[in-house]
Amino acid sequence: MNIYADRGNMLMLERRCAWRGLGFTLTAAGLGDAVDPDAHDLFYLGGGQDRDQRLCAQDLVDTKCDALHAAAARGALVLGICGGIQLLGHHYELGDERVPGIGLVDLHTVRAADGSRLIGNVAIEVRLPGLDGPRVLAGFENHGGRTMLGTGVHPLGRVLRGHGNDGRSGAEGVLAGTVIGTYLHGPLLPKNAWFADWLLATALGLDPAALAPLDDRLEDAAHAAARRAAGV
C-alpha cells in the first residue's frame, strides 16, 4: 500500500544514504510478488484505505507472511505505517468482517462501530535502543481502526498530542524487537530525519552516532514545523 507520502519516506532513506555514499536499493513487492527474507535490510509496509487493505491483506498472508516472519526472526527491520501496522497484527475487524493480518506482532485492530476517525497532527515521545534519552516523533494520523496491543507488548511511544493507537490508552504504535509499527504518516521520515537515520543505522547494524552528519537545516525546520503543528 502506498498512500500519504509513503514514497516520500522511501526517498528520504535513499537520499540520506546517497549523501553519505551508502548504497541503497529499493525493491517493490506488489500483489502476488514473493519477498526474499534475506535480500533486504528493511521491509516497509505503507498505509492504505480499507478498500486497498482488503486487497493487500490476503496477498500478504498468502505470499509474504512467511518471508516477513523469517526476516524479522533474523533481525531485519520491519516497519508498518498506518494500514501497515494493522496488517502486522492478527486481524482488522470491520463490523462482521475480519481482514487477516500476518500476526507478526501481538495486536489487533477494530474499526469504530460509528465509523468515526482519529485524525490530526500527532506527536509522541519515544525511547529507542542506541539513543540516549527520549526523542519526539511528529506527524499526522488518520485512521478509523483502533489498535489494541497484547499484554506485555510495548508501544513505539507515548502520545504527547493526538490520538494514538486507540484514542484512549496514550499508547502509539508498537515496538517489538525489530518490528515497528506506527500510525504516523504525513510523511513520517521527512518530518523526523533523526528517525530515518536511526532506521538506517539499525538496519545496517551500526551505532546511530556512527553515521556521518548531514546539513540538516531544512530537515530540522520540517521537524520543528511538524512539532508546532502538533502543539509540542
3-state helix, strand, coil in the chain (%, to 5): 35, 25, 40
Residue closer to ligand GLN, measured from CB, 86 or 202 = 86
Nearest distance from C-beta of residue 114 to ligand GLN, angstroms? 13
H or E element, residue 18: helix 6-19
State which of residues 9, 142, 192, 202 lies at the interface with ligand GLN (CB under 6 A): 142
Q: Stretches 136-144, 166-174, 205-213, 222-230: which one binds ligand GLN (CB under 6 A)?
A: 136-144
Sign of CA dihedral 168, 174, 176, 177: negative
185 a catalytic residue: yes
Nearest distance from C-beta of residue 30 to ligand GLN, angstroms? 17
Which residue is listed with cell 531485519?
76
State which of residues 14, 41, 50, 66 lies at the interface with ligand GLN (CB under 6 A): 50
Nearest distance from C-beta of residue 36 to ligand GLN, angstroms? 26
H or E element, residue 78: strand 77-81
Q: Stretches 63-71, 126-134, 140-148, 174-182: which one binds ligand GLN (CB under 6 A)?
A: 140-148
Cell of residue 79, nine digits: 516497519
Which residue is listed with cell 518530518?
191
82 belongs to the binding site for ligand GLN (CB under 6 A) = yes
Burial 197-209 (b: 16+ CB within 10 A, else e): bbbbbbbeeeebe
Binding residues for ligand GLN (CB under 6 A): 47-50, 53, 82-83, 86, 142-145
Residues taking part in catalysis = 82, 185
